[in-house]
A and B are shown apart, each in its own frame.
Chain A
Amino acid sequence: DIVVTQSPDSLAVSLGERATINCKSSQSVLYSSNNKNYLAWYQQRPGQPPKLLIYWASTRQSGVPDRFSGSGSGTDFTLTISSLQAEDVAVYHCQQYYNTPPTFGQGTKLEIK
């Protein structure tokens, strides 16, 4: 199974500041035939189910604010929130779907400083 590891486990960022979350997979999730990274990011607000934010490592899901961006390729990925808003307090999960089983990172808890 592909192991997905996020860092840090938690972080606190001031409102309006940038937040950066990292995700590393134990093997490449880049599919050479279509040049796509099978990596998604989800946001889970307290008491709510996860919500898809980004797929293909960098494509925002419809309706997701453009302050959220994803980058990276192969084994190393980053979720960036350019200007933190109060409603962004949540746990963020990355997930690989390069092969089965799809595996998630342990989650990163984002709080307001």
Chain B
Amino acid sequence: EVQLVESGGGLVQPGGSLRLSCAASGFTFSSSAMSWVRQAPGKGLEWVSAISGGSDYIYYADPVKGRFTISRDNSKNTLYLQMRSLRAEDTAVYWCAKEDRSVYSMDVWGLGTTVIVSS
């Protein structure tokens, strides 16, 4: 079964850091581009970052550029999102998603992990 399981969310103070993880199973992780997508309370979906299978290509949304770092460990089938200098506006549910680059869409999503940035 194809599965993505996020972890690492929680409550953090403004300016703090957090690292999210996404454990993948059931597909060839190393061949798959992956994305992080978030949804703030009451808001729409917002793409955050993407990484190619071999980490050759990495992209960030402007609001997180310079603060977030996406990475992956293909030996562990795990995707990461290191978040620094967190702001209240980063409060959201964060999902990792597998990209199907043959059809340019996100065909598998995890259940999500919640990040709350508050003092």
Q: How far is the CB of B111 from chain A (nearest CB, A)?
A: 6
Cβ contact within 8 Å between B59 and A105: no
Q: How far is the CB of A86 from chain B (nearest CB, A)?
A: 23
Cβ contact within 8 Å between B59 and A104: no
Contact size class for A? 20 to 34
Cβ contact within 8 Å between B110 and A97: no
Cβ of A95 < 8 Å from any Cβ of B?
yes
Query: Which residues 85-99 in A have Cβ within 8 Å of B in the complex?
Result: 93, 95, 97
Known contacts A55-B103, A59-B103, A50 near B44 by CB under 8 Å: no
Cβ of A13 < 8 Å from any Cβ of B?
no
Cβ contact within 8 Å between B47 and A101: yes
Interface majority SS on A: helix, strand, loop or mixed?
A: loop
Cβ contact within 8 Å between B106 and A107: no
Cβ of B31 < 8 Å from any Cβ of A?
no
Cβ of A102 < 8 Å from any Cβ of B?
yes
Q: Report the separation of the CA atoms of residues A102 and B47 in the bound assembly, to the nearest whole angstrom.
A: 7
Q: Which residues on B sit within 8 Å (CB–CB) of A48?
A: 111
Cβ of A49 < 8 Å from any Cβ of B?
yes
Cβ contact within 8 Å between A49 and B111: yes
Q: Report the separation of the CA atoms of residues A8 and B11 in the bound assembly, to the nearest whole angstrom.
A: 34
Q: Report the separation of the CA atoms of residues A100 and B37 in the bound assembly, to the nearest whole angstrom.
A: 13
Cβ contact within 8 Å between B109 and A100: no
Chain A residues engaging chain B, CB cutoff 8 angstroms: 38, 40, 42, 44, 48-52, 55-56, 59, 61, 93, 95, 97, 100-107
Chain B residues engaging chain A, CB cutoff 8 angstroms: 35, 37, 43-47, 50, 59, 61-62, 95, 100, 103-107, 109-112
